[in-house]
């Protein structure tokens, strides 16, 4: 198959390209001007320069493509609704239109379980592929943009489409975790939200990338909304303990009631506009960390013949092996 991957220089997209190449597909990676094209080329993909704002580049990149995997998006949680809408929603719309014009057979949109409304998470309900969710609140800008981009895919695609909602990803090449979480843990400003026993839907990145790949290849995945969910229960406390151990900083002992943390997040959005603290003092970050994420992906596993295979402890060990190689040590970013 001839395949196009957007976001190939990123955390998910790079692992997806590797899997597709290993499976024998011809892969084209869409790379923005100034991004690390050499890295995408080193993975074995053809590099094409383009941007989600540039319709002509998207049309050229989509020519001759059988399956299009769209993993590019604004991944930071800091930014305005307009910025997220421009990149995540309008960018997806332009790409869908280009795919339609090029006759792409399957459009796979890489979404997020961040689309689930915080009230749904707070209820403790087990969330499955068929669980309905209202549009996320406006303060949850990232989830709102992903939710609206999903609607663009479902409504505008003329060919087959599949949407894969990813759980909370971790693993090698996750620069965000090193850049934003490590410094706040090192500076001892991070706190456990609530009692820390809420489960987090943690999924190892290669397992998630495998689900994404299959979503484009399996006939029964057409027209389906899938979930790449976890394979074991990991709590917020266990997650931060593993991070602390890996970064070589003390484990977090301080705890804060969730409602108070949420209030601090609201204040942080107004007072702190950049840096690691801006990323953790956000209502959306607090909701994603402090609310239970009880996700099940039984239907997805059945459709794709897939299941997450990597245990949390093993996946975290691989993540910190990569951090040591990439940054020269396994400790917090300076």
Both structure tokens of 14: 């790079």
**Domain ranges (residues) in the chain:** 2-171+202-229+293-309
pLDDT above 60 for 140: yes
In angstroms, the Cα distances linking 185 to 139, 175, 179 are 25, 15, 11
| pLDDT over threshold 90, residue 80 | no
Q: Which of 27-36, 80-89, 100-109, 312-321 has the lowest mean pLDDT?
A: 80-89
Does the structural domain 2-171+202-229+293-309 have CATH classification 3.30.360.10?
Answer: no
- pTM, rounded to two decimals: 0.94
Tokens read off for 244: 């602390």
Given a cut of 80, whether residue 76 has pLDDT beyond it is no
Q: State how far the alpha carbon of 24 is from the alpha carbons of 1, 17, 19, 44, 259, in Å.
A: 8, 11, 9, 11, 50
Confidence of residue 333 (pLDDT cuts 50, 70, 90): very low
pLDDT of residue 109: 98
pLDDT at residue 75, as a whole number: 66
Given a cut of 60, is residue 334 above it in pLDDT? Answer: no
Length, in residues, of the chain: 334
pLDDT in tens, 211-227: 999 999 999 999 999 99
Residue 81 has pLDDT above 90, yes or no: no
């Amino acid at each position: 198959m001839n395949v196009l991957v957007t976001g190939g220089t990123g955390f998910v997209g790079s692992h997806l390209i590797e899997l597709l190449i290993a499976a024998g597909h011809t892969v084209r990676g869409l790379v923005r001007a100034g991004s690390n094209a050499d890295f995408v080329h080193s993975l074995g993909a053809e590099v094409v320069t383009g941007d989600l704002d540039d319709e002509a580049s998207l049309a050229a990149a989509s020519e001759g493509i059988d399956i299009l995997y769209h993993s590019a998006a604004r991944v930071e949680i800091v930014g305005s609704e307009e910025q997220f809408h421009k990149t995540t929603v309008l960018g997806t719309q332009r790409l869908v239109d280009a795919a339609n014009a090029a006759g792409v057979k399957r459009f796979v949109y890489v979404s997020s379980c961040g689309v689930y409304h915080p009230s749904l998470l707070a209820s403790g309900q087990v969330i499955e592929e068929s669980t309905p969710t209202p549009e996320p609140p406006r303060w949850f800008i990232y989830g709102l943009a992903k939710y609206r981009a999903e609607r663009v895919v479902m409504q505008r695609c003329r060919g087959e489409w599949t949407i894969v909602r990813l759980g909370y990803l971790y693993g090698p090449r996750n620069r965000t975790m090193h850049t934003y979480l490590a410094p706040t843990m090192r500076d001892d400003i991070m706190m456990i939200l609530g009692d820390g026993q809420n489960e987090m839907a943690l999924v190892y990145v290669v397992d998630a990338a495998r689900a994404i790949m299959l979503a484009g290849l399996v006939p029964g995945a057409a027209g389906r909304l899938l979930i790449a969910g976890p394979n074991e229960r990991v709590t917020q406390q266990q997650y931060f303990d593993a991070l602390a151990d890996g970064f070589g900083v003390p484990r977090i002992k301080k705890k804060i009631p969730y409602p108070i943390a949420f209030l601090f997040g609201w204040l942080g959005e107004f007072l702190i506009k950049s840096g690691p603290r801006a990323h953790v003092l956000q209502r959306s970050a607090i909701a994603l960390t402090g609310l239970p994420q009880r996700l099940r992906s039984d239907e997805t596993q059945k459709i794709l013949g897939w299941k997450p295979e990597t245990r949390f402890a093993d996946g975290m060990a691989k993540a910190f092996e990569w951090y040591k190689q990439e940054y020269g040590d396994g400790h917090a970013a300076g």
